[in-house]
Structure 1
Amino acid sequence: MALSIVSNLLQVLVVLLFAPLAKGVLNRLKERFQSRRGPPLLQPYYDLWKLFHKDTVVSEHSSWVFRITPYLAFMAPLVVTLLIPVLTAYPLFMAFMADMVGAGFILALSGFFASAAAIDTGNPYGAMGASRTRMVGILVEPIFMMIFFAVSFTADSTIPYIVQQKWMTSIAAFFAPSHLLVIIAFVMIILAETGKIPVDNPSGDFELAMIDEAKNLEYSGRGAALMHWAGSMKLLVLMCVLLNVLVTPWGLATRKDITSVLLAIPLVGLKILVLIFILALIETSLSKLRLFRIPEFLGAAFVTVFVALIVHVFSL
């Protein structure tokens, strides 16, 4: 029990401390692919340090929703970290408290509060970004459910630790068409949920074109730092779900000792680095879609996972 608690704390610390680094590596790679020098790898840490040392300005028209949202958004990825395999292939003491549907609900709840907080201040740009974010969320949630259905049909469970043990039993299972299609759909969902190109451009600063970043316009100081940190952790958590649950448990600790858990940190980091390289390549190879084209992109993700379900049913 003590080792399980320590392992869970290590998972939380890894997501908490290395999420800004993952964002910095992604931003640096995107600039390199475009033949630019790019920001330092540690730039997200500098930005967080600067924001935490700035004063917080709160609109007089805002309510308690605006004030508590940064803390809810910050805690949601950390709670999900306790439910998914980040460093260990064996279940920890909170592994069975919720499945993938519950983890998705926690992230969706923080997204709802973020949209409500953007509307709460009365800023028209915040409301515009919140409405666009909800539009994307409404289209993304059915795809999430279809992915969970596909996973449950294959692994007879939606508990992440059970999925990685039952689904990834052989090379043939990994290269099954239904499995590969689910992975493609989940990558498309990561791009949409984290505000990446082609759905959104996180580096853009034009208010009328913002989607995900428009929700954070009214935050300053500690609130802005928590919102940006939460976005980085959400990206890292989704990458861990994709890599450790849907792709391969390689690199995760299989022995119940602290040395194996610590050794899993650089191995899992190597997998994440490969995925970051792929995401950076996708973002630099595509252009941002117009707003009315985003449903087409998410519709393609829905069709992909639907075909995965059909292929799996016929393969039985």
Structure 2
Amino acid sequence: MRRREGCPYDGRLRDEPVIPDWGIQVIAVLVVIVFSPLFKGVINRWKARLQSRRGPPYLQPYYDLRKLFRKDMVVSRHASWVFHLVPLVYFAVPIVFATLIPVLSAYPLPLAEMADILGSGFVLALGGFFISLGALDAASTYGGMGSSRARVVSFLSEPVLILVFFTVALVAQTDLPFFVNRALVAPLNIISPAHLLAAVAFFMVVLAETGRIPVDNPATGTELSMIDGARILEYSGPELALLEWGSAMKMFVLLTVLLNVLIVPAGLTYDGQPLHVLIAIVTLLLKMLGISAVIVAIESTYAKLRFFRIPEFLGVAFVLSLLALITYHFTKG
């Protein structure tokens, strides 16, 4: 039997069986793959109920994916092999990202040290880069327009992410997500002004990067106002299903970072016991329901911003992240 370093329980060896590290890593990836479409359905359902509409079923995203996987593909005659590679990369990137962050465990798993918190962000940004390549490769007017707009949003978001990650690394005295989680469990760190400002700034960036209101409206049908939706207009069938699924996983893993690293770094397993892993899964899903309620409240209260006002929104996030860094330097002593 074994005992995890940093385990909050007593130091006695336990007789309960534990799940191997690679097993927990596989379970974490499966949680991301299986449950990510569910919370997209939860948000759509709750938003409809808040607007006095019946709304789609909670499992509607799964029905949509099944329908898309059964359809044939219609491909532009201008598309090359890059166009077909994009859905595979976009689907795989969040899975790789999930191995680098604390999804279920508070201790590092076998692949956790491949990248620090900033390198993990670059891994996730790879998917957005490829989907823009696919939109341009199809030689579509809307695809080019959506790609240019998405690059502007990413250009404005990246400085915020760098400042947020830098501030969190300073507060936690480490830049590895698993060790950041362990350091921020301390009450003095979790309620520090620098940490709270960084968490708010990161949440604003998550809304922008996942195409949620007020930056983009995922339910819009007007091509001239779309950002993320315009980049996948040329895709259909199984390739569109992979893109939609990858988008849901991207939102899931970003919210996991927000919850398990920044806001509520608790409820994870420290020893790999099956019961504790199950509790970690349930805790993560409950935290996801809570943040979904916040997103629903925001999307039901605010309207989509005009494109030229998006820099103002991300400018606020930049100021908050900068204030977080300044606040840390004034309060660290």
Is this contact kept in 1: 2:184–2:265, CA < 8 A? no
Task: State the Cα deviation string for residues 23-82 of structure 1 (Å, max 9, x = none).
Answer: 100111111111111110000000000000000121110111111000000000000000
Q: Distance in 2 between matches of 1:257 and 1:90?
A: 13
For the residue of structure 1 that corresponds to 2:260, the secondary structure is: helix
Q: Which amino acid aligns with 1:133?
A: A
Task: State the Cα deviation string for residues 230-267 of structure 1 (Å, max 9, x = none).
Answer: 00000000010000011122221122222311221111
The CA RMSD measured in Å over matched residues stands at: 1.1
Residue 292 of structure 2 is aligned to residue 292 of structure 1? no
Aligned length: 315
Task: Tell me the residue number matched to 2:216.
Answer: 200
Q: Distance in 2 between matches of 1:158 and 1:280?
A: 31
Is this contact kept in 2: 1:118–1:215, CA < 8 A? yes
Task: Tell me the residue number matched to 1:11.
Answer: 28
TM-score normalised to structure 1 length: 0.98
Q: Distance in 1 between matches of 2:328 and 2:132?
A: 37
Q: Which amino acid aligns with 2:161?
A: F
Q: Distance in 2 between matches of 1:265 and 1:152?
A: 26
Residue 275 of structure 2 is aligned to residue 273 of structure 1? no
Task: Tell me the residue number matched to 1:224.
Answer: 240
Q: What does 1:158-307 correspond to in 2, within 5 Å?
A: 158-170=175-187, 172-307=188-323
Is this contact kept in 2: 1:216–1:224, CA < 8 A? yes
Q: Distance in 1 between matches of 2:50 and 2:33?
A: 27
**Cα shift at 1:309:** 0.6
For the residue of structure 2 that corresponds to 1:18, the secondary structure is: helix
Q: Distance in 1 between matches of 2:137 and 2:47?
A: 34
Which is worse superposed, 97-106 or 130-139?
A: 97-106
Structure whose CA Rg is larger: 2
- Give aligned-pair identity as a percent: 50
**Cα shift at 1:122:** 1.0
Q: Distance in 2 between matches of 1:102 and 1:280?
A: 30
Question: Unaligned 5+ residue runs, structure 1?
Answer: none
For the residue of structure 2 that corresponds to 1:96, the secondary structure is: helix
Is this contact kept in 2: 1:7–1:258, CA < 8 A? no
Runs of 4+ aligned structure 1 residues displaced above 6 Å come to: none
Residue 131 of structure 2 is aligned to residue 120 of structure 1? no
Task: Tell me the residue number matched to 1:140.
Answer: 157
Is this contact kept in 1: 2:19–2:274, CA < 8 A? no
**Cα shift at 1:2:** 6.8
Residue 308 of structure 2 is aligned to residue 314 of structure 1? no
